[in-house]
Amino acid sequence: MNLKLKIWRQKDPKTRGKFVNYQLRDISPDSSFLEMLDVLNEQLVSMNEEPVVFDDDCREGICGACGMYINGHPHGPDTLITVCQLHMRKFKDGDTIVIEPWRARAFPIIRDLMVDRSAFDLLIQEAGYVSINTGSAPDANSIPIKKKYADLSMDAAACIGCGACVAACKNASAMLFVGAKISHLTLLPQGEVEALERVSKMVTKMDELGFGSCTNTGACEAECPKGITLTNIARLNRQYYKATF
């Protein structure tokens, strides 16, 4: 495959960035998107040019570090995958691919395609945990939990904190991420004790960090690589109203 790449290059947070055009030839359709970027960087290094900076870690769709916009979509044109799981066969020979970083005030650009997503860590540090002493692991079935709630909690726990929901939202809202954490913890007995305090703290911190408000466009759910649904935002809102009133 021969490809034209239009990649956002930015030296540091204070320097004005721009799109730079590159061309690649003979890319295997079976290679992953990150492997394609590796090939580009090898070529740039061989020409004594600065390689394109991007985040990656596990390359197995687990860590969520590889977040970037590809042709206007967080994580690219495929669904329910991260960038490391996107393969070049999703594109056609001769395609122009536009690659840029997340665009959100809470996710400032570090360099090129790498952004600072530590705002998510700060949200978790604020209240996204269980602090009460729950003791050691209980015997199976000693604490009766309805399967419905256990399944919903596990579905919410699938969130990897990649930031695609924030990038997809026109307001750069973190409601889907926070909603997933609220559902994950609140639906289980261990997390129910601190439920109202947790949601109040996390929503306040979310606003403090510069995330926008939710207007229910559904873009976050559509772009989430793990299929986290809007029902988690509804659950977050219900919990927040309880905490407020």
C-alpha distances out from residue 206 to 46, 121, 165, 184, Å: 43, 11, 14, 18
What would the two tokens of residue 240 be? 């927040």
Q: Hey, which residues does 87 pair with through a beta bridge?
A: 32
Candidates 129, 98, 128, 104; CA nearest to 116 is: 104
- Residue given tokens 């909690």 in the structure block: 153
Candidates 38, 43, 48, 51; CA nearest to 23 is: 43
Q: Hey, which residues does 8 pair with through a beta bridge?
A: 19
Mean pLDDT value of segment 1-8: 97
CATH of 3-110, one of 3.90.1150.10, 3.10.20.30, 3.60.9.10, 3.40.228.10: 3.10.20.30
Class in CATH terms, 118-244: mainly alpha
Are 212 and 173 a contacting pair, CB within 8 Å? yes
List the domain boundaries for the chain.
3-110, 118-244
pLDDT in tens, 31-58: 999 999 999 999 999 999 999 999 999 9
Q: 3-110 and 118-244: same fold? A: no
CB atoms within 10 A of CB 96: 12
pLDDT in tens, 71-124: 999 999 999 999 999 999 999 999 999 999 999 999 999 999 999 999 999 999
**What pTM did the predictor assign?**
0.93
